[in-house]
Each structure stands twice: as structure tokens, then as C-alpha cells.
A and B are shown apart, each in its own frame.
Chain A
């Protein structure tokens, strides 16, 4: 497996953001981490990326404990834009080249062009849709085994949404694992192999999307509504 979380728990004083989550992510598959706002999706991803330390539990990346070394296999794209406004799209690429050994300037250039951005554009002049595309280009240009995209469709229009969905399909291959968090289940559904429902920090249901549809006789959206309405 590419990633394994074992009884992963993260507590912030009074609140438990992630509550003994056990998840196994296999290569060659796209996973949806689905839950409402505040359910622990981002915290789970940050734990898996090694950005936040767990209160208890364990994370294994490519069969090794989470370490400085094994962390290099993981990409985490946060919800919020994290680039400096004075940079150009080109400079964002150079910045990532300096930081990550597996960052490919060629892939970045291609992704940037495919998504309709320009290397000369300034970060501060980008619309929120463009900014979302740039974030995805920077994340996807790394040839990592585990790519976690936190709310990749947040705050973007329908046209940009199609571009981002296509880019996600392009990124997926038989070796890497994609973990996409979203509360826009209906839009995401056709992209997902597997779904993981997270509610108040707990994994309440997980499994193969097609099998779940067959078993429940309804869409993932409808199952989601059932799980989260109660």
C-alpha cells in the first residue's frame, strides 16, 4: 500500500479533530475523503503529510514510518493559496524546483499551459479560479506516490471546474494514489474509485464507490446525505 493510517488521532485541547482513523490507500486508485466542513478532512491530510503531529496513532508511507525521508513521497495541496503575490507563475515554478527534488519544470509548464495560464502572469493578479489552477499545477508537477488535494474544486466556476477535473484525470496513474477531499460529492462522484466518509473526525464508512452504489441501490451523494443528516 502507499499510505496507511492506524488509529490516527489528533486532539486540540477540548476538540478531537481526527478520532482513531484507520485508512489504507492503495496505488493506482483515486480516493474521495468526503465530509462536511469541519469534519477533519484537512487535519487528516495534514497528519498524513507530516505537517501536524498526531496525538496518537501511526502513519506509514510506502511501508515506512512517516519521516523526513518518507515524507518526500507525499504531496499536500492545501485549500488556501500559499504563493507570494509578487511572484510570477514562472517564479512559482522555480520556487518549487528549489524545494522539491521530484518537481518537474517541464510537467509544470505543460500543466500551466493546459489549464490556460501564462508563465508571465503575476500571482496577485490571478482570479480565484486561476489561483486554484496554479496550486494544482504546482502540486501535480511533482512525481510523488501520494497526492492529496484538499478541496480542489473550492470556489471555482463551472468552466474552471472542468479544467481541474481533466487535470486530475491526467495526474492519476497506476502507481500513484490520489486523495481528494470535497464536500461537492455530486461533482466528484464520477472521478472516484473509493470513498471515505468522515464525520466529526471519525471514519464512518469506506469502500469501493461502485460497490457502495450497488449495495445501497443509490448514489454516493444520497448515501452521503443519509450518513451526515443523522
Chain B
């Protein structure tokens, strides 16, 4: 697993999981792997894996049933929200990078239009 280590690893793994939710690889209500299995899957420290679930719970992405494990939320709206968030983030980054290169808003729009033609 390659991580951009400037950002906290737990946030990077959460982003990867969010992407899988949007792509439908992880569905609402799905049972998630155990903390240790998650650590193995993403090659991260077990404490980091525990933190990933804790943060995801705080974000309302999953919940833990005592003795049963961790489950993804059943709330379908969450996936829509995440999709929106991810798109906003990508757009923000695009605009930021393009303005650093000296592109005007008009030129950015034109660049996007040409790319999606």
C-alpha cells in the first residue's frame, strides 16, 4: 500500500473506503472486516485501524454492534453526501492547481469543456 505520508494515514484509508462506498463496492449495511483484518488489508498499524473505525463512527459512516462487529450505515443519503463531497474536493483542487498555473476562470471552463468532449 502506498500512502502519501504527509496526510494522516487513517484519513487516507477513510478516503479509500468512501470511494468504494460511492462506487458501490461497499454497500449500506455491509459488515466491515475486523480491526485486525482491516489493518492487514491496508497494511497499517492495528491502532490506526481502530482509529479508522472510530473516526468513521464519528462521521456517521458506520456503527459498531457489541460482539457482532462494525457495520456500514443503512442511511442511503450518506453515500450521496460523500459523492458530493468528493466531487467538491476534486473541483476545489482542480481550480486551485489551475489558478497556480495562471489560468483564468474562463480558461479553466474551456479546458474542462475540451477535456469532456
Contacts and interface: CB of A to CB of B under 8 A. Distances in A.
Given A190-B44, A192-B45, A193-B47, A169 B5 contact: no
Interface residues of A, number: 24
A30 interface: yes
Given A169-B36, A169-B39, A170-B40, A219 B5 contact: yes
Contacts of A219: 4-6
A166 B43 contact: yes
A191 B5 contact: no
A103 B31 CA distance: 35
Contacts of B4: 219
B68 interface: no
B6 A189 contact: no
A220 B40 contact: no
A209 B48 CA distance: 11
A162 B1 CA distance: 9
A189 B47 contact: no
Interface of A: 28-30, 162, 165-166, 169-170, 172-173, 186, 189-193, 210, 213-214, 217-221
19 contacts: A30-B47, A165-B43, A169-B39, A169-B40, A169-B44, A169-B46, A172-B45, A172-B46, A189-B3, A190-B9, A190-B42, A190-B45, A192-B45, A210-B9, A213-B5, A214-B8, A219-B4, A219-B5, A220-B5
A-B pairs with the 9 shortest C-beta distances?
A: A219-B5, A169-B39, A190-B44, A191-B45, A166-B40, A169-B40, A172-B46, A193-B47, A210-B8
